[in-house]
Amino acid sequence: MSHQQFLRDLETGTLRVAQRDAQGAWQVDASVKQRILDYFGAHGLTEMGDEAHPQYQGFVDKEGLAPRRFTTADKVRLVPGGSSVRPGAYIAPKVVIMPPAFVNIGAYIDEGTMVDSNVLVGSCAQIGKFVHLSAGVQIGGVLEPIGQLPVIIEDHAFIGAGSVIVEGIRVGEHAVVAAGTILSAAIPIYDTVRQKVYKGEVPAGAVVVSGSRPMSTQENVGKDLHLHCAVIIKYRDEKTDAALQLEDFLR
């Protein structure tokens, strides 16, 4: 398979970095990640832009990675204003990308998802159907190490403005991450409803907000120092659904 065919297979969804197996568990395909790394290793830098694409002049990237172009046949709404979708990213029909936004190689964005202004979707991130990535959201990808699952945002999740989700976190279906929440592998998620502590995942339907927890070390005695954490304060109900309803006509 040629490098260009590999990129096309990623763009059509024929190849994916990660997907669910027959039991519903997410599995990473390390060979796809390796092919992405091989692409970078096999191609040198090139100056972008020509008479047909003067908007790219002054930019430098690896050969063959000029930003993707879309037509009405793709049924993707890419609004003018400085957004960039790299080759090798899958963008499903009815996805809306507001400017400026950036989607990196290997990312997968499924049908009906809203990618709002100033959103970054990292390499290999997997975004489900009818997800809302609000303004300023940063989704890490996890291209390396190749065996690690990337960040996964499952169907109908709502990610609030300015949130940062990195290091292979999985956000379950219909979950809500409140504005400004930071989630990483090292940040515990305290579930005040089920009295559990999660790391690396947000359960389906959970409503997560930013919180803090006191440091328990001896050095903290009398200092009242706190560490960042995330807190599940409830699970989605009809009131939450009404507040977060996505309007199909926008897509």
Provide the pLDDT for residue 230. Answer: 96
pLDDT tens-digit map of 108-147 = 999 999 999 999 999 999 999 999 999 999 999 888 888 8
CA distance 190 to 213: 10
Provide the token pair at 111. 């049908």
Is 152's pLDDT higher than 60?
yes
For 233, the enclosing helix (H) or strand (E) is: strand 226-235
Q: How would you class 244 by CB atoms within 10 Å of its CB: exposed for 0-12, middle for 13-18, buried for 19 or more?
A: middle
Provide the token pair at 93. 């029909």
Provide the pLDDT for residue 146. Answer: 85
Domain 3-47+54-186: assigned CATH number: 2.160.10.10
Provide the token pair at 57. 């002049």
Q: How many CA atoms lie within 13 A of 154 on its CB side?
A: 19
Provide the pLDDT for residue 26. Answer: 95
Provide the pLDDT for residue 54. Answer: 79
DSSP 3-state helix, strand, coil percentages of the chain (rounded to 5)? Answer: 15, 30, 55
Domain boundaries, the chain: 3-47+54-186
What global pTM score does this model have? 0.91
Question: What would the mean pLDDT of 90-113 be, rounded to a whole number?
Answer: 97
Check if the beta carbon of residue 42 is closer than 8 Å to that of residue 3: yes
pLDDT tens-digit map of 9-66 = 999 999 999 999 999 999 999 999 999 999 989 999 998 877 767 778 888 998 889 8
Which one has a higher pLDDT value, 52 or 85? 85
Provide the pLDDT for residue 249. Answer: 59
Provide the pLDDT for residue 142. Answer: 86
Residue 212, beta-bridge partner list? 228
- Check residue 168 and report its DSSP letter: T
CA distance 164 to 180: 7
